[in-house]
Amino acid sequence: MTTLRALAPALPLVFILHVVEEAPLFVTWFNSMVAPPISQGTFLAVNATALVITLGVALAISASREPAAGLVGVAWVGFLMLANGIFHIVATVAHDRYCPGVVTGTLLYLPLSFLIMRAAVRELHVPWVVAAAVAFAGGVPMFVHGYLIVFRGSRLF
């Protein structure tokens, strides 16, 4: 059985792999969809901030036995990985072109999100509906942001 503590180190690694896939083309793709545009510097700053938070969440999951740490992890994964993975798939399908990040979003983000939620259900003894609700609630800003980008040509932040 895979535990939250065992999965925690995968969070920053998978995030870095995702950014590596995105980095060469995402800003150009994003700017073709949304106004006002972003710069490569903004892209890197946002992702550096997300990496620091991801490292903090991974450390909290690894170091704490408190259920709250696991649920914070589920919420963060809901935002950063689950909603973002879905965003990349929807963007690719809706616009019939590659959205940089769709490969790692699909093959790494979505399975890791599921594994984290499954581990939380087992270890924290919360029902699946609770884990899913926490992940969904955490993902709401990314779901809204992704909707605005893909279907409205605008952005939340």
Among residues of the chain, what percentage have pLDDT more than 90?
A: 94
One DSSP character per residue, 101-139 reads: THHHIIIIIHHHHHHHHHHHHHHHT--HHHHHHHHHHHH
Spatial distance between the Cα atoms of 63 and 43, rounded to a whole number of angstroms: 30
CA-based nearest residue to 72, from 46, 54, 87: 54
Which amino acid is residue 34, in one-letter code?
V
The predicted pLDDT at position 65 comes to 84
Instruction: State pLDDT tens for residues 17-63.
Output: 999 999 999 999 999 999 899 999 999 999 999 999 999 999 999 99
Over the stretch 110-119, which tens digit does the pLDDT of each residue have?
999 999 999 9
Tell me the per-residue pLDDT of 82-127, one tens digit each, with 9 for 90 and over.
Answer: 999 999 999 999 999 999 999 999 999 999 999 999 999 999 999 9
Domain contains 143: yes
Residue 87 within any structural domain of the chain:
yes
- Per-chain mean pLDDT for the chain: 96
100 within domain boundaries:
yes
Instruction: Kindly state whether residue 95 falls inside one of the protein's structural domains.
Output: yes
Measured distance CA(101)–CA(115) in Å, rounded = 20
157 falls within a domain: no
Distance CA 130, CA 9 (A): 24
Q: Is residue 114 part of a domain?
A: yes
Full residue range of the structural domain in which residue 42 is found:
4-152
| Amino acid type, 83 | A
| Residue 56 belongs to a domain | yes
Distances (CA, A) of 138 to 21, 46, 141: 24, 17, 7
pLDDT for residue 1 = 65
Please state the domain count of the chain.
1
Q: Is the pLDDT of residue 128 over 70?
A: yes
What is the rounded distance in angstroms from the CA atom of residue 33 to the CA atom of residue 36?
10
The structure's pTM equals 0.95
Identify the CA nearest to 53 among candidates 80, 88, 18, 34. Answer: 80
Does 85 map to a domain? yes
66-78 pLDDT per residue, tens: 899 999 999 999 9
Dihedral pair phi/psi, residue 90, rounded to 5°: -60, -45
Residue 11: the pLDDT is 98
